[in-house]
Structure 1
Amino acid sequence: MSKRNKSVREAALEVIEAVEKNQSYSNLLLNHVIEKNELPKKDIGLLTELTYGTIQRKLTLDFYLAPFIKGKLDDWVRHLLRLSLYQLVYLDRIPDRAVFYEAVEIAKKRGHKGISGLVNGVLRSVQRKGLPSLESIQDPVERVSIETSHPYWLVKRWVDQFGLEKTREMCETNLIAPKQTARVNRTKVSREELVQSLLEDGTEVKESPIVPEAIQSLRGNLAKTKAYESGQLSIQDESSMLVSYALQLNHDMKVLDACAAPGGKTTHIGEKLSGTGEVHALDLHKHKVKLIDENAKRLDLSNIQTYALDSRKAGELFEKESFDRILVDAPCSGLGVLRRKPDIKYSKRESDLNSLQKIQLEILSAVAPLLKKDGLLVYSTCTVDQNENEGTVSAFISDHPEFETCPLEGLPESITPFINQNSLQIFPQDFGGDGFYIACFKKK
């Protein structure tokens, strides 16, 4: 479709529908729609806001719409109503009349006269009568669920694990768009030099108070800069940068990254080794391994070797006790990154979390024999779930008496308050990074 006959709201509707129907990731679809419709720069921000915002607030929007909808609606009509109501409730710079006009035009184009009348009628009723009150929800867990648009089972699970207040804070933080952060490739440039050259190029950034080699973007997309192209920086969340610290790396070490794609942590390890040593990176999928290779090449790192391999078969490729350090950044539910991938919270089921633990333990058990005596094995996830985190750690220790948990050392000072003996659980509300978990084991 040409860009002239598709409005931003139509494009947003297309992404929202596809996310719901195909359980596709919103971030990937969004990029595809932007490229396909050749959207002008000024529209990309609005499209992103409309898509993420509508998906992010789905349960709240449904609660608001419920009194005004009678009978069954086609899925696309419901999506259109959510999208329109999102603008009316949460975006103050779009005039109501523009929202009504666009909604009715899209309904006419896609449906028949009756549908455009229905859409217009529902939105006008909401405007006239006002939104139903969230105060009417008595059950505190349900209220957090509807107010922050997280499924009831998930809020309940978190309340059982962390208490109501911490859960509410986390759910509220999950609604805020994350800031873009990047890691400076210190084998090429210092943080001060990079900040200076980015400012001169018109990208507004500041040094991260959390991680010594991180910067935070205040304005502009760091992935579109000359500095990115020339390998001076990588886009990475601050929480995820902590993993390389936990590995306590020294020059010339041999490191295994067992679940490596797209290579953010792999390349960070390569940088921390300052071009010495060896980093062996595994991933199940060929196309993802290609991403690691591309990243390593862009950053000029020659100490990284990649393999398309299921890490549960790592023993077929490597000798026993051949690595100084092993990282298992395990496949997980991703419940720590709901700000970036809001669709995850609706597609996950409680049973998924339990089946993931089985895979996490299989990977840990498969790579454990490859670690040298006195070597360190670091386990990390981008989730906040206790079963996937502490649960997996204690199950691994009880199955592997040759391992013990050991203190997390060498992390940036800013992180000390969050360390709990031998593990680290970062919540999104702690410093605005992703929810993340890190634990460290030593081979006796």
Structure 2
Amino acid sequence: MAKTKNVRQTALEILDAIEKNQSYSNLLLNNAIEKNQLPSKDIGLLTELIYGTLQRKMTLDFYLKPFVKNSKKTERWVMNLLRLTLYQMVYLDRIPDRAAIHEAVEIAKKQGHKGIAGMVNGVMRSIQREGLPSMDTISDPLDRLSIETSHPIWLVKRWDKQFGFEKTKEMCEQNLIAPMQTARVNLTRISRDECLETLKEEGFEVEKSPVIPEAIRVLKGNIASSRAFKWGMLTIQDESSMLVAYALGVTENEHILDACAAPGGKSTHLAEKMDNTGEVVSLDLHLHKVKLIRDNAQRLGLGNIRAITMDSRTAGERFEKEMFDRILLDAPCSGLGVMRRKPDIKYVKQEKDLTQLSSIQKDLLGTMAPLVKKGGYLVYSTCTVDEVENQNVVESFLAEHPDFEGDSSFKERMPEAVQPLINGFDLQILPQHIGSDGFYIACLRKKV
């Protein structure tokens, strides 16, 4: 029993830290796993408890509201303990309610006092007796969708305006599903079939991606711990993110710039697609992130990547004009497309952030434009799903840079599975399209 108690106590501490410090869930979770040396069976439960409770936070609060007399005055850790316990009762079949409640009461005693333990016990027993309040009491469909899927109402209204109700509903529901681990096979070292065999021999359950020719999907196991990963046969990367290298359409011996490159997934993909020829210049602002790019390149056996620590906005001072055949700008963005991986984004981001980011994105595109050769390509990408950071940024860039045009021929370079989603020279992937991250890609060409 001590082990599971430790898992729930750890989960509570992480949930509390996320809320208190607005820290990223994935970073805190990884630190906790290392620090507490949890056995692998507990890592699965801890991950589920943290991500599940975060993903469903607004729904859990709706359910708790009639039973918690004054939630605003209730201490933060107590609210998190109530959410954590209710999440187990509502969403986890394999944990009996009595065990979840018993553990919660024990934690409350240890971390608070008898009064808090009694309150936690009382709330949970009342919910058991009376059942959960019904969502049918929420008459407005957007309000109900917001509470049902735990997405802030400003976001639901925004998406409803941009994509319509059905697509918004699908996207919100998809965001509650844990992402599948996917990886890209390093074709300079091994074929996809051989890599699959190697992983299966190690005991992993893996299959070919139906979307990306060099990708695999992991059904069971974490392949970051595999020998195949250590030997540089693959890179863990989302399938949407792999599409960028196709959009850029690199060929051997070209000179490529990846302007915001860390941790190096796209840089290494481009380097592999050039079969270790030419050069990919990878920029990032932070030294520790540049080290990640170098480490990845070394692990994969790629000698054609040069990683440099610098602010991409100053690239014009460092590089000559028209120096690169192709440039990738995977711009800093709100990350609204990766909520399945970072559920805390939903509650931290605000509407004004999108506008602030769009001005940075426009600046970066403007800096990159002179560095592209005539006839060369500039690909703009983000892991978000909002037109203010995507289509509007690109339209504004094209209006200010008549020497560039949208390149609709990029459709022919893209994998067949996503071709129907391409609209002229850009592509907006929603999480429900191929079960991957929400992602935007636009391909621009400098006129000759």
TM-score range normalised by the length of the shorter chain: over 0.9
Which letter maps to 2:95? I
Alignment map for 1:6-405 (pairs within 5 Å): 7-71=6-70, 72-405=73-406
Question: Compared with structure 1, are the counterparts of its residues 401 and 173 closer, same or farther at alpha carbon in structure 2 (3 Å cutoff)?
Answer: same
Give the equivalent residue in structure 2 for 1:418: 421
CA distance in 2, matches of 1:45, 1:265: 28
CA distance in 1, matches of 2:402, 2:368: 15
CA distance in 1, matches of 2:5, 2:53: 19
SS at the partner of 2:10?
helix
Asked whether the equivalents of residues 282 and 306 of structure 2 are also in contact (C-alpha less than 8 Å), the reply is yes
How far did residue 197 of structure 1 move? 1.0
CA offsets, 1:65-117, max 9 Å, x none? 00001122000000000000000000010011101110000000000110000
SS at the partner of 2:325?
strand
SS at the partner of 1:336?
helix
SS at the partner of 1:372?
strand
CA distance in 2, matches of 1:5, 1:268: 41
How far did residue 165 of structure 1 move? 0.8
How far did residue 431 of structure 1 move? 1.2
CA distance in 2, matches of 1:6, 1:372: 60
Which letter maps to 2:426? S
Question: Quick check: 336-345 or 408-417, which moved more?
Answer: 408-417
How far did residue 6 of structure 1 move? 6.0
SS at the partner of 1:48?
helix
Where do 5+ consecutive residues of structure 2 fail to align? none
CA distance in 2, matches of 1:285, 1:207: 35
The count of aligned residue pairs is 442
CA distance in 2, matches of 1:364, 1:55: 34
Structure 2 residue 436 is the aligned partner of structure 1 residue 429: no
Where do 5+ consecutive residues of structure 1 fail to align? none
SS at the partner of 1:387?
coil
| TM-score with structure 2 setting the length | 0.98
Which letter maps to 1:411? M
How far did residue 316 of structure 1 move? 1.3
SS at the partner of 1:437?
strand
Q: Cα RMSD over matched residues?
A: 0.9
Question: Quick check: 61-70 or 413-422, which moved more?
Answer: 413-422
SS at the partner of 1:331?
coil
Asked whether the equivalents of residues 328 and 379 of structure 2 are also in contact (C-alpha less than 8 Å), the reply is yes
How far did residue 4 of structure 1 move? 6.5
How far did residue 5 of structure 1 move? 10
Asked whether the equivalents of residues 242 and 266 of structure 2 are also in contact (C-alpha less than 8 Å), the reply is yes
How far did residue 41 of structure 1 move? 1.1
CA offsets, 1:324-381, max 9 Å, x none? 0000000000000000000001000000000000000111101110000000000000
| TM-score with structure 1 setting the length | 0.99
CA distance in 2, matches of 1:178, 1:432: 8
Question: Quick check: 393-402 or 408-417, which moved more?
Answer: 408-417
Asked whether the equivalents of residues 5 and 103 of structure 2 are also in contact (C-alpha less than 8 Å), the reply is no
CA offsets, 1:139-178, max 9 Å, x none? 1111010000000100011001111111000000000000
Which letter maps to 1:270? A
Query: Once the two structures are aligned, what percentage of the paired residues are identical?
Result: 64
SS at the partner of 2:337?
coil
CA distance in 1, matches of 2:398, 2:424: 16
Which letter maps to 2:198? S
Which letter maps to 1:423? D
